[in-house]
Chains A and B, each alone.
Chain A
Amino acid sequence: MIPAILLMLGIGATCGIVLSLSSKIFYVYEDPRIAQVENNLAGANCGGCGYAGCSAAAEAVVAGKEPPTVCIINSKEGVEAVSRIMGVDAGAAEAPLSYNLCEGGNRAENKYHYMGVSSCKAMTAVFGGHRVCTVGCIGLGDCVKACQFDALHMGPDGYPVVDDAKCVGCGACQKACPKDIIQVKTLSEKLMEFNQEHGALAPCSQTCPAEINIPKYISEIKAGKYDEAVQTIRMRNPLLLSCGRVCPHPCEDMCRRGIEDEPVSINQLKRFVADYEMNSGSRIPITCAPDTGKKVAVIGGGPAGLSCAYFLRRIGHQVDIFDAMPKLGGIIRYGIPEYRLPKKVLDWEIQGILDLGINAFTQVKFGVDFGLSSLIASGYHAIFMGIGAWNDYALGIEGEDLDGCYKGIDWLSRFAGGQEMKLGKTAAIVGGGNSAIDCVRTLKRLGLEKVYIVYRRTRNEMPANEVEIVASEHEGIDFVFLAAPTRVIGDENGKVKGLEYLQMELGEPDASGRRRPVPIEGSETVLDVDMVISAISQAPDPSFKDTDPTPKIKDLELTRWNTIDNNPETLQSSIPYIFTGGDSATGPSLVVTAIGGGRRAARSIDLFLKGKPVEPVENSLQGKNIPESIFKKVDGITPIKRAKMPEIPVSERLDSMIEVDLVLPEDQALAEADRCLNCCRICYNPDTEFPIAK
């Protein structure tokens, strides 16, 4: 008996000492919840959950990969205890919900018929599933079987439909789906999703720089659910009123209907629902995630800054916007004239964003009124710089400093800011972009007798939106093509009296594919004008680098075009906590690109604030299209006329700044929504039945 006791004493003591020492020596921090959760699992280490042991399962639960019900042999009390532990987590207060990405279902063609299997998982193992579409729903309902809460049902079209009221976000369906088509995500996660190469995406959504789910909102319009359509757009674009008016809609160029017919007027539909909300008299509520306690400074209240601030706020961060101008909006307030985007509309839209709880400080200029060090001292954890591109390029010709010479954005913004502008009788605007058009159309409305647009190439090469060019033609603008200004001629008082230009002819195409204009020797011509505005693109204003006293700001690298150097996929600058987007990152570009950039920067900032590596979106589709989704030919289309944009007659609009373009009436909007094929990656709803041409 004595040896037995001594032996066990020895072994017990040794094991105890070794374990207690090693628990100190090899101590590694882990989320305390893992231990708590593990305590409430069955602890049999049976592996029945598919994880290797209870601690592995507990880790998966805490990491959010598994629901509290992961342990198949756990008691009801155990499951409840685990749920409680996970429930105290602030992140979980934002309930995840299941949602289905594929709405193709049965309309996707089959590549084979196999009746032998009854589960999606099994079907996937046979050549990736029976549908031609590699990413779409298999339709055998593994997710429906997995749902313990009766929240999922197989819809009539062969894809599952989620009952949001019953869904608890347990994630069982997501786990069951072999195609990753049904996903359980919190709103924050959904807001921070980006197009990926394997996505179930229509060509239009792939092309939209803001990545709006276009088919979804159009089908919501079709169903009369205007509120939901607005919310769908707001998942990606907070400036729908503005975009609905000024967006050049690159999406419509990729519209699948456009291959056989006129494309769907996507942007007019966006404007339709956006205006519907504004005119309805009440705002559709926008939800934000619980506060994360992190603070972000957004410098620049233009479209990029507003978008970034909006998304950061919605995912729970605290945001303050700083802007040099008296009011927020940036270039869309000060660069886009009233007749295209009324200030009243813009004010309403921006107010909606600020109402989320975003503070705005205006008339404070970065580098002058505040700097990097003051922001850091105020406790901001990250900075977004969306300072835009406001420095007009100079023509670089003689006489450019004469009285009566102006620069495009400078002139437009001063005018929009309410400054009294000195006007002449005739004006020449140099440039072919949207700012040039904005200048001419504004000047025309101000009563000038003759307004010329002087562009060194032809109409075909003009970068301005086609609708804008057409409108200015209607409004009686004179176009002087193939003209390169050489000199501004002044009178004896130093006032402009003419613009001399050289006639050009088109030569070989240059790098951008546009034919290079070549001057014709001795073709100098003088245009008699008393006002010259040069609107030949802009660059960001880099002066903050010299005026900000913070030494660190010198580390912020700029490109040779003065844009802020950044990783185009994460928009992180050379200073890790500064992110950028919009024109200050890309150079002058579209509003919708700036909005997309703002959201992308918000994602990177969110990663940065959470201490995660700021990495690009995996398999990002940014700037690319999915080749298999781009068709050459679309079967089953009956051409139907596209809705024509209603506008005020020329005679009524030239004497005021009244908004020219009008919103589609409801019946026309519904008819237009009906033209949408509700495309996805490769399937769509044709107008007519057609035999499968294969």
Chain B
Amino acid sequence: MAQSLVKEFTKGLWAEIPLFRLVLGLCPALAVTKTCENGIGMGMATTFVLLFSNILVSMLRNIIPSKVRIACYIVIIATFVTIVEFVMQAYTYELFLKLGIFIPLIVVNCVVLGRAEAFAGKNTVMLSAADGLGMGIGFTLALSSLGAVRELIGAGTLTVWGGTPLFTIGHGYIPFQFMVEAPGAFVGLGMMLCLMNLIGKK
């Protein structure tokens, strides 16, 4: 049992890391990763939703009729998303402002619904929780690393938490602003995927 828990948890961190391996959840990945901080925030919000929606979906998996399964899953997910929205407003307000419209869109992040359908709908609560947490952390890692790369190249800074840059590249550096603009998001993710391919497939 413990072994399979660990397995379900760790697979999301590397072997099936959602953004890079499965190429899921692209919208938030591209939209919010202007800074590393945003990536971390979005990742944490998604992790929270993934964890709790996975738990609830797996608890209810036997009573939800399959024809309204998508509708039910999505209500569960949306509920947690709204809770996250409140919590972020109450405790991490500045981040909430930056992530703006993308918080409600966690609802339609295919990673979340995908895990509900593919995993939580068929597995026990414990396994689903491990899976959700692993996938969420993997997603957070991916978002924050993409955010870090884009921010470093595009703005010359690295912001991890609290809005003030943790690190700034020396004054001689002229930021390559392309990377923090929309096209840079696509190119940045493309290059990250390439890097993952180079490091090695599962």
Contacts and interface: CB of A to CB of B under 8 A. Distances in A.
B67 A23 contact: yes
Contact of B67 (A20, A39, A46, A74): A20
Interface in A649-683: none
B118 A46 contact: no
A42 B68 contact: no
Contact of B114 (A12, A15, A23, A43): A43
B117 A19 contact: no
B75 A42 contact: no
Interface in A8-62: 12, 15-16, 19-20, 23, 35, 39, 41-46, 48
A42 B23 contact: no
A78 B22 CA distance: 15
A20 B67 CA distance: 8
Nearest to A16: B68
A42 B118 contact: yes
A12 B71 CA distance: 9
Contact of B71 (A19, A45, A78): A19
Given A44-B24, A44-B111, A46-B24, A20 B68 contact: yes
A78 B75 CA distance: 25
B110 A46 contact: yes
B113 interface: yes
B124 to A, nearest CB: 14
Nearest to B75: A12
B24 to A, nearest CB: 5
A75 interface: yes
Interface string B111-137: 101101111010000000000000000
Contacts of A42: 114, 117-118
B71 A44 contact: no
| Residue of B24, B66, B118 contacting most chain A CB atoms (<10 Å) | B118
A41 B16 CA distance: 15
Nearest to B67: A23
A75 B16 CA distance: 9
A45 B75 contact: no
A71 B114 CA distance: 12
Contacts of A16: 68, 71
Contacts of B110: 44-46
A23 B71 CA distance: 14
Given A19-B67, A23-B67, A43 B24 contact: no
A20 B71 CA distance: 12
B68 A74 contact: no
Interface in B73-103: 75
A575 to B, nearest CB: 44
Contacts of B116: 43
B28 to A, nearest CB: 14
Nearest to A73: B22
A75 B22 contact: no
Contacts of A19: 67-68, 71
A51 to B, nearest CB: 15
A16 B70 CA distance: 12
B67 A44 contact: no
A35 B66 CA distance: 10
A23 to B, nearest CB: 5
Contacts of A73: 16, 21-22, 24, 114, 118
A35 B75 CA distance: 22
Contacts of A44: 22, 24, 110-111, 113-114, 117-118
A4 to B, nearest CB: 11
Contact of B22 (A12, A35, A48): A48
Interface in A505-545: none
Interface in A63-79: 72-75, 78
| Residue of A23, A43, A46, A78 contacting most chain B CB atoms (<10 Å) | A43
B193 to A, nearest CB: 13
A78 to B, nearest CB: 7
| Residue of A48, A73, A75 contacting most chain B CB atoms (<10 Å) | A73
A46 B109 CA distance: 10
A389 B196 CA distance: 72
| Residue of B66, B116, B117 contacting most chain A CB atoms (<10 Å) | B117
A170 B175 CA distance: 50
Nearest to B119: A75
Contacts of A12: 75
A44 B119 CA distance: 11
Contacts of A48: 22-24
Contacts of B111: 44
A262 to B, nearest CB: 58
A115 to B, nearest CB: 24
A15 B75 CA distance: 12
A277 B51 CA distance: 68
Contacts of B114: 42-46, 73
Contacts of A43: 113-114, 116-118, 121
A116 to B, nearest CB: 21
Contacts of B16: 73
A327 B37 CA distance: 89
Contacts of B21: 73
| Residue of B16, B71, B111, B114 contacting most chain A CB atoms (<10 Å) | B114
A72 B24 CA distance: 11
A48 B111 CA distance: 13
Interface in B5-62: 16, 21-24
Contacts of A74: 118
Contacts of A41: 118
A558 B116 CA distance: 65
A75 B68 contact: no
Given A16-B68, A20-B68, A75 B118 contact: yes
Contacts of B67: 19-20, 23
A15 B118 CA distance: 24
B68 A46 contact: no
A43 B22 CA distance: 13
A598 to B, nearest CB: 48
A78 B118 CA distance: 9
B141 to A, nearest CB: 18
Nearest to A54: B117
Given A20-B68, A45-B113, 19 more contacts: A15-B68, A19-B67, A19-B71, A23-B67, A42-B118, A43-B114, A43-B116, A44-B113, A44-B117, A44-B118, A45-B110, A45-B114, A46-B22, A48-B24, A72-B22, A73-B21, A73-B22, A74-B118, A78-B118
11 contacts: A19-B68, A23-B67, A43-B117, A44-B24, A44-B117, A46-B22, A48-B22, A48-B24, A72-B22, A73-B22, A75-B119
Closest 4 CB pairs of A and B: A43-B117, A44-B114, A42-B118, A73-B22
Interface of B: 16, 21-24, 66-68, 71, 75, 110-111, 113-114, 116-119, 121
